[in-house]
A and B are shown apart, each in its own frame.
Chain A
């Protein structure tokens, strides 16, 4: 069974700092990996999707990388802002979708 781990569970940074969130998975046989954002009491919003054949994807201040062979992905957030405060989840798709437990990010003004 696929296991998805996200470290750290919580992170607090001052505004303007660059930061990296980590995601690891145990089975490299995946179709894609997605990063989502979840605000308190809300659903999930997709941020980036990386196909298994890709190495990275970028959207604005966000950059996600994928190293399938080592079972790792990182989400890089540049010049963090208070509005980035949320929980960030990664999910891998193989025969089913498996989610990590998320990293709760707080950006301090």
Chain B
């Protein structure tokens, strides 16, 4: 069974500081993908970053980076230099070999000025 676990229901970070949002996954597939999405209070789902299971380097997209530790089955999102606009729900997702996407329960991030 595929499973995504986000253990932090809520996180706080000071503006301009970095924050790490945790995600672990469980799969028996050899090929899979890991994604992070942001959901602001307005409700839309915004794609942030992607990591393939065979990628050896951690993915980066601007202030977002993905700390991928395959042996530990973790795919943590790191947001550097937090901004007030980063306050939102963040979802980790895994795509399996069959192109099915499974989502974690999300982490609510609040950036404090």
Bound together: no
A residues engaging B (CB < 8 A)?
none
